[in-house]
């Protein structure tokens, strides 16, 4: 089995600390202890905790793009792009959950690092709104999906399992009629 790189071990440790505790527990000392690396190893790969957070933002944006269907980009103006956005909000766990906790941690530590994420979502929202007949309905559906995403990251999902599927079906039905 290939050995994880030190940089990946550090990133994974940072994600785990945030996911299992709170963003206030994300310290360089906590990361190096969890990753099993030296302080020098940490600073070889990341100049500071802020550099680690910036790398986590990059990971987040890459994960958003990887979640898009083939051929759909953040500035795609198709129904498929809109559907992918809404579906992302209703999917639970995994990368989606991890991305939510990263956003919350970064907001707590270095809110200025959120600008690339804000720009990504502004671009995506503008593209989607330009492709539908009712931009207000599209924004409402996007807000519902994003609300679930943030609630999941906070550990307080309003719906789960079959009920979540029913809510998603209802929102999709409403969106189909509205946009």
For the chain, give every domain's residue range. Answer: 1-46, 49-178
Asked whether 100 and 150 are in contact (CB, 8 A), the reply is yes
pLDDT band for 2, please (50, 70, 90 cuts).
very low
pLDDT computed for residue 67 by the predictor: 67
The CATH number of the domain covering residues in 49-178: 1.10.357
Q: What is the pTM of this model?
A: 0.71
Per-residue pLDDT, 13:
93
Please indicate whether residue 65 or residue 113 has the higher confidence score (pLDDT): 113
- Whether residue 43 is predicted with pLDDT greater than 90 in this model: the reply is yes
Please provide the size of the chain in residues.
179
Average pLDDT on 48-64 reads 85
Residue 160, both tokens = 């789960």
Percent of the chain with pLDDT over 90: 18
Task: Report the 3 state secondary structure along the chain.
Answer: CCCCCHHHHHHHHHHHHHHHCCHHHCCHHHHHHHHCCCHHHHHHHCCCHHHHHHHHHHHHHHHHHHHCCCCCCCCCCCHHHHHHHHHHHHCCCHHHHHHHHHHHHHHHHCHHHHHHHHHHHHHHHHHHHCCCCCHHHHHHHHHHHHHHHHHHHHCCCCCCHHHHHHHHHHHHHHHHHHC
* pLDDT class of 75 with cuts at 50, 70, 90: low
| CATH class entry, domain 1-46 | mainly alpha
pLDDT of residue 28: 95
CA atoms in the 13 A half-sphere facing the CB of 77 = 9
Tens digit of each residue's pLDDT (9 = 90 or more) over 11-42: 989 988 887 776 778 899 999 999 999 999 99
- Residue 131 burial (10 A CB sphere; 0-12, 13-18, 19+): middle
Give residue 6's pLDDT band: very low, low, confident or very high (50, 70, 90): very high
Question: Is the distance from CB of 83 to CB of 138 less than 8 angstroms?
Answer: no
Say whether pLDDT at 1 is over 50. Answer: no
Q: What distance in Å separates the CA atoms of residue 179 and residue 161, rounded to the nearest whole number?
A: 27
CA distance 104 to 87: 21
Kindly report, residue by residue over 87-142, the tens digit of the pLDDT.
777 776 555 566 677 777 777 778 888 888 888 888 878 887 777 778 888 888 88
159, pLDDT greater than 80: no
């Amino acid at each position: 089995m290939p050995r994880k790189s030190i940089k990946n071990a550090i990133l994974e440790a940072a994600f785990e600390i945030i996911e299992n505790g709170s963003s206030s527990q994300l310290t360089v000392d906590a990361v190096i202890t969890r990753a099993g690396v030296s302080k020098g190893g940490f600073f070889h790969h990341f100049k500071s905790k802020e550099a680690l957070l910036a790398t986590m933002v990059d990971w987040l944006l890459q994960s958003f793009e990887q979640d898009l269907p083939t051929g759909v980009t953040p500035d795609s103006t198709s129904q498929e792009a809109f559907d992918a956005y809404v579906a992302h909000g209703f999917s639970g766990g995994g990368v989606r959950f991890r991305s939510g906790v990263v956003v919350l941690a970064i907001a707590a530590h270095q809110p200025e690092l959120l600008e690339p994420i804000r720009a990504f979502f502004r671009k995506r929202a503008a593209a989607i709104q330009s492709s539908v007949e009712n931009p207000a309905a599209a924004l409402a559906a996007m807000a519902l999906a994003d609300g679930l995403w943030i609630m999941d990251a906070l550990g307080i999902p309003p719906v789960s399992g079959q009920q979540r599927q029913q809510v998603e079906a209802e929102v999709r039905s409403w969106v189909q009629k509205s946009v």
